[in-house]
Amino acid sequence: MHGEPAAPVEDTAGAVGIRVVKRAKVEDAPNPPETDLSAIQNEGLTARQLRMARRLAQKHDIAATSDHDAVRQLRLKGVDPFERSSMLELIVPDAARQVKPVDKVQLPRKAEPNKVPASEVPSKTDPDGGGQLSQIQVIQRDIARRRRRKLAYLGARLLFFVGLPSFVAGYYYYDIATPMYATDTEFVIQQADGAGSTALGGLFSGTGFATSQDSMTVQSYLTSRDAMLRLDEDAGFKAHFSQPFIDPIQRLSDDATNEEAYDLYSDVVQIGYDPTEGIVKMEVIAADPATSAEYSHLLIEYAEERVDQLTQRLREDQMAGARDSFEEAEQKMLSAQNRVLELQEQLGVLDPVAESGSVMTQVTAFETQLRERRLELEQLLSNRRPNEARVAGVRGDIGRLQAMIDELRGEMTDGSGDVASLARVSAEQRVAETDLQTRTALMQQALQQLETARIEANRQVRYLSLGVTPIAPDEPTYPRAFENTLLAFLIFSGIYLMSSLTASILREQVSS
């Protein structure tokens, strides 16, 4: 700080190999550092500088009462505690500090023959005369022995946890497992095409999206307990897989429950659905090929029944509503027609319009004749001496015509006794005929709705179309011994690997 220290001299310790810094004594400077304790306390030294001074005093075996006292005693001894070379002394080992420095660097010299004793010549194989090399060889042999022991333990574990289970699985698949025969079937569920289908409805027609829901429903049904129970009732599913020649792993017990049979059914009946093409693929496994094909045919029949039942209720509801509406309209039309017939029979008038027209024609004709007779009467009365006989005859004709006209008009407007007037008859029959026409129109509309419902019901029909017919195989399909053995080996290897990693992680966590 206040003085310029001498340059440090570096030396090399040959056996230890650690650089030792030789610090020269601090020469007397014109401005020596402060050695007064109160002045040192006023310098404002940091806590880090005080800690370094205390540690440096401990290195120099200085008993200081405080950190500031350590700084004071170090300065009195000629050591600046804050100089870089003094800081480096804190990290130099004590063994290196005890090595006596030399004035020049020691370098290896060439050994001349017959001049250097053999004991001083370094050996190429044993530099320390047999001690260090022997220890290294012992360590190497111990490492090799432990490595062989670990490899042996690893091999034993792999053999026990991976090799032995894989061997047992392979032995089962090759020698014990009963050959099984699989029958493959492919079918698609289609919808009847209707002539009145809309453009949006026909967009997905012919694709798997049109009947995807029906296909998934059939798939769920074929893999259900209901299908298994029907198959057991029709073809003896439990009895077939309870035969003694089947190996114990695949064989059902004689008193197997429905749940045990269903677990086996889920393994031997595999059904998959491809939504892009709408194809349902089914694989049925049995102990002999004929039984496998029989099970496939029965399951296809079950699927067809289920497909028919999917839209049966919808079709029945549509047809029932339209049929009831048509029957009601037809009944009301027949009632209106019977009412018109009753009025015609009761009144004796077939056509009120025609009857009214006939009466009016007669009235018109009689009125014409009446006018003519009146003109004739006036003509006769215009004479000075009219013929009384002719006048009386004309007047009689006028009276008779007038009476006939009044009678006809009375029949049209007023009824007498039980006979209704022609106007009333015409009104009643007109109302009945109007009702009949209305009921006839409603009946025709109901008939049209019935035909439309029948067409829609036909469009709702689903049917199952086979793409691949079930044919009994002539060679066993399962077990696939090599593939299953390899799969078992991979599974046991994965289990062992995961267990080993878990155990290693736990061991490391516990030991840390």
- Whether 12 has a pLDDT exceeding 50, the answer reads no
Query: Helix axis angle, 312-347 relative to 422-459, nearest 10°?
Result: 170
HSE-up (13 A, CA, CB side) for residue 81: 30
Q: How far is CA 75 from CA 6, 57, 72, 81, in A?
A: 15, 10, 5, 8
HSE-up (13 A, CA, CB side) for residue 290: 2
Give mean pLDDT, residues 7-34.
39
Torsional class of 417: left (φ above 0), alpha (ψ -120 to 50), beta (otherwise):
left
Give mean pLDDT, residues 369-398.
82
Q: Tell me the C-alpha distance between 381 and 386, whole Å.
A: 6
Q: Tell me the C-alpha distance between 403 and 405, whole Å.
A: 5
415-424 tens-digit pLDDT:
443 344 556 6
Instruction: Say how far residue 40 (Cα) sits from the centre of its chain.
Output: 80
Of residues 24 and 184, the one with the higher pLDDT is 184
- Whether 204 has a pLDDT exceeding 70, the answer reads no
Q: Give the total residue count for the chain.
A: 512
Q: Tell me the C-alpha distance between 449 and 441, whole Å.
A: 12
Sign of CA dihedral 284, 289, 293, 294: negative
Whole-number pLDDT of residue 352: 60
Whole-number pLDDT of residue 439: 81
Of residues 459 and 143, the one with the higher pLDDT is 143
Outline where DSSP puts E strands in 376-494.
462-468
Whole-number pLDDT of residue 437: 82
Torsional class of 114: left (φ above 0), alpha (ψ -120 to 50), beta (otherwise):
left
Q: Quote the DSSP letter at residue 115.
A: T
HSE-up (13 A, CA, CB side) for residue 354: 5
pLDDT class of 198 with cuts at 50, 70, 90: very low
Q: Tell me the C-alpha distance between 285 and 289, whole Å.
A: 8
Give mean pLDDT, residues 378-397.
81
List Cβ neighbours of 60 (8 Å cut-off, separation of 6 or more): 74, 77, 79
* Burial class of residue 333, CB neighbours in 10 A (0-12, 13-18, 19+): buried
Q: State the amino acid at position 230 in one-letter form.
A: R
Of the listed ranges 13-22, 214-223, 414-423, the least confidently predicted one is 13-22
For residue 467, the SS3 value is strand
- pLDDT above 90 coverage of the chain, percent: 28
Most confident of 41-45, 264-268, 350-354, 451-455: 264-268
Which residues share a beta bridge with 463? 190
First CA to last CA distance, the chain:
47
- Nearest alpha carbon to residue 162 among 501, 496, 483, 504: 496
What are 377's two structure tokens?
Answer: 């009467």
Whole-number pLDDT of residue 88: 53
pLDDT class of 29 with cuts at 50, 70, 90: very low
Q: How far is CA 277 from CA 187, 215, 273, in A?
A: 11, 11, 9
Of residues 266 and 200, the one with the higher pLDDT is 266
pLDDT class of 21 with cuts at 50, 70, 90: very low
H/E element holding 273? Answer: strand 269-274
